[in-house]
Amino acid sequence: MQRALTNQGNEYRSALIRLVEPMPSSTRGPNRAHSWTNAFVERLQGTILSELWRIEFRQRFFTRVATMQDVLDRYLAFYNHQRPHLGHRTSGRTPAEIFMQVQEVSS
């Protein structure tokens, strides 16, 4: 890892420091003059909240973190491989399709 972009939140700061401390890397927050630096992450978090968690939390009560992780993993597989993305950079392709196309071009 060369660099980690954080949102300056304190929730995981100590875990992040332990992870990157032994590596020759740097961490920095998003440039406050350019809100787009964190926009993709914020949009993904909003999508997961509205399409997954708001629905799941209405339907069931989770008692184990592992169960929540399983639900999230299934959603992310759907998000990356099946769900059409309509953003101007995606043009209806899934993230997996875009990634595979980039991998083929760079090979």
Dump pLDDT digits (tens) for 6-44.
666 666 667 767 766 665 555 455 555 555 666 777 888
Global pTM reads 0.63
The answer to whether the CB of 93 falls within 8 A of the CB of 83 is no
The residue type found at 84 is P
- Structure confidence by residue, pLDDT tens digits, 46-71: 999 999 999 999 999 999 999 999 99
Polymer length in residues for the chain:
107
Report how far apart, in Å, the C-alpha atoms of 14 and of each of 4, 27, 60 are. Answer: 14, 12, 32
The alpha carbons of the chain give a radius of gyration, in whole angstroms, of 17
